[in-house]
């Protein structure tokens, strides 16, 4: 079967190769074999190949998310049957099949589109939990976020709207204004050093207690300029590669706090029932059309270099997704 392996740290499209490996072994008791149907490429994958994010040391397989169908079950597996659709909690999913402990899977409904299922592990729960766990938001309150057209950003817009919370969405390209308004954004603005003044000119002294930062560096500081006194900046990504910046005026005068969110230390540190309940809720939100993750292109595993170059490109309109067992019709 085919699998993607990265041989050393470096530019993703240069260090990742599609290789022929042994088929996944028959499952032992407590294990299942899954044929991976779809697996998204996330910024975390790219950072791991560059040695900038916690992950395996090369040579290794990679792929933080994926979804597929159970093709074999080991003795004592009662919670799944052959033919069930599952999402994968394992982190090496760019492969045609894998045999893993049943606890590394979560059953998902058949009516959930498989290209959406391939993207539900990381981004939707991150948006939901960041919106829920840091500030007590009331209907009519505002939140601000950067990289607002990312998958996390789009989920956040849609989840906020469903709760009556308004969003200020910071992007780096003007052509995103209209599409984000169509997703349900209340305000879309370009990043810049005068962000605080421009946002306050639009929303006045409305309550904006939460900023959600995927970028770090000065972009984090621009968000903090918009936050109400006593509010929180939650950093969850380092797309710029620069340290988060808050000034003493933010922390001392305005009592704004900076904290970090990581799904690994949040959802995945919680009991199994909470993880399952979270993905049941997320799957239903996709089925109901509340959440949606656009896909720009799909690739097979032997197109890995092309797929990774595409995923690293600025200005995408959706995710790049591997279909390891062939195109999804
Ligand atoms: N902490 C956690 O647990 C957790 C969980 C999930 C995701 N994440 C993080 O969330 C972030 C978004 O992930 P995603 O999968 O939603 O992303 P995505 O859909 O792949 O989109 C990437 C986004 O990043 C923007 N971007 C890239 N480089 C940038 C830069 N230097 N400055 C400003 N914007 C930049 C892109 O803007 P353009 O469209 O203009 O190119 C686009 O909006 C990533 O940093 C990821 O690692 C963290």
- Are residues 297 and 316 in contact, defined by beta-carbon separation less than 8 angstroms? no
Q: Which pair of structure tokens corresponds to residue 46?
A: 């790219």
CA angle 120, 61, 149 (to 5 degrees): 35
| pLDDT score recorded for residue 329 | 77
Mutate to test the pocket of ligand 1, among 45, 52, 147, 152 (most ligand atoms within 8 A of CB): 147
Q: Which pair of structure tokens corresponds to residue 6?
A: 């990265």
Distance from the alpha carbon of residue 239 to the mean position of ligand 1, in angstroms: 6
| pLDDT score recorded for residue 96 | 98
Ligand 1, residue 44: give the atom nearest the CA.
Answer: 47
pTM of the complete model? 0.96
Q: What order of strands is seen across the sheet that includes strand 166-171? A: 187-190, 166-171, 142-145, 210-213, 232-235, 257-260
In the structure, which protein residues have their CB atom closer than 6 angstroms to any atom of ligand 1? 42-44, 122-123, 126, 147, 149-152, 172-173, 214-215, 236-237, 239-240, 261-263, 314-316, 319
Closest CA to 191 of 158, 147, 157: 147
- The rounded distance, in Å, linking the Cα atoms of 207 and 194 is 19
Ligand 1, residue 314: give the atom nearest the CA.
Answer: 41
- Are residues 107 and 79 in contact, defined by beta-carbon separation less than 8 angstroms? yes
Nearest residue CA, atom 29 of ligand 1? 239
Distance from the alpha carbon of residue 42 to the mean position of ligand 1, in angstroms: 8
Q: Which pair of structure tokens corresponds to residue 272?
A: 């199994």
Q: Which residues pair with 2 in a beta bridge?
A: 20
| pLDDT score recorded for residue 171 | 98
Distance from the alpha carbon of residue 147 to the mean position of ligand 1, in angstroms: 6
Nearest residue CA, atom 23 of ligand 1? 150
- The rounded distance, in Å, linking the Cα atoms of 62 and 182 is 34
- The rounded distance, in Å, linking the Cα atoms of 109 and 137 is 31
Query: Which domains, from first to last, does the chain contain?
Result: 2-119+293-322 (3.90.180.10), 123-264 (3.40.50.720)
In the chain (329 residues long), the average pLDDT of successive 10-residue segments reads: 97 97 98 98 96 94 97 97 98 97 97 97 98 97 98 97 97 96 97 98 98 98 98 96 96 98 96 96 96 96 98 94 92
- Are residues 250 and 226 in contact, defined by beta-carbon separation less than 8 angstroms? no
- Are residues 300 and 8 in contact, defined by beta-carbon separation less than 8 angstroms? no
Distance from the alpha carbon of residue 43 to the mean position of ligand 1, in angstroms: 6
- Are residues 225 and 249 in contact, defined by beta-carbon separation less than 8 angstroms? no
Phi, psi values for residue 64, rounded to 5° = -70, -20
Ligand 1, residue 122: give the atom nearest the CA.
Answer: 6
- Are residues 69 and 274 in contact, defined by beta-carbon separation less than 8 angstroms? no
């Amino acid at each position: 079967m085919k699998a993607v392996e990265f041989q050393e740290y470096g530019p993703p499209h240069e260090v990742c190769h599609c290789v022929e490996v042994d088929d996944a072994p028959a499952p032992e008791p407590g294990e299942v074999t899954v044929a991976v149907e779809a697996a998204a490429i996330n910024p975390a994958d790219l950072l791991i190949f560059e040695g900038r994010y916690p992950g395996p040391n090369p040579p290794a397989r990679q792929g933080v998310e994926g979804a597929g169908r159970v093709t074999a079950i080991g003795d004592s597996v009662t919670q799944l049957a052959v033919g069930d659709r599952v999402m994968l909690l394992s982190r090496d999913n760019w492969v045609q099949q894998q045999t893993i402990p049943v606890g590394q899977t979560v059953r998902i409904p058949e009516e959930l589109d498989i290209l959406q299922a391939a993207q539900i592990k990381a981004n939707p729960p991150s948006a939901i939990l960041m919106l829920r766990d840091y500030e007590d938001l009331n209907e009519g309150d505002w939140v601000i976020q950067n990289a607002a057209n990312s998958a996390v950003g789009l989920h956040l817009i849609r989840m906020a709207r469903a709760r009556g919370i308004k969003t200020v969405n910071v992007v780096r390209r003007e052509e995103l204004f209209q599409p984000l308004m169509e997703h349900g954004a209340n305000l879309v603005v370009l990043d810049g050093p005068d962000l605080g003044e421009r946002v306050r000119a639009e929303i006045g002294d409305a309550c904006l207690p939460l900023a959600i930062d995927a970028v770090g560096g000065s972009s984090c500081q621009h968000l903090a300029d918009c936050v109400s006194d006593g509010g929180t900046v939650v950093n969850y990504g380092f797309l710029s590669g620069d340290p988060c910046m808050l000034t003493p005026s933010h922390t001392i005068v305005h009592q704004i706090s900076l904290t970090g969110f990581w799904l690994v230390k949040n959802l995945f540190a919680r009991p199994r029932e909470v993880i399952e309940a979270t993905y049941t809720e997320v799957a239903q939100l996709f089925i109901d059309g509340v959440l949606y993750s656009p896909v720009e292109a799909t690739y097979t595993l032997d197109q890995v270099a092309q797929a990774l170059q595409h995923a690293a490109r600025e200005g995408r309109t959706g995710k790049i997704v591997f279909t390891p067992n062939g195109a999804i019709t």
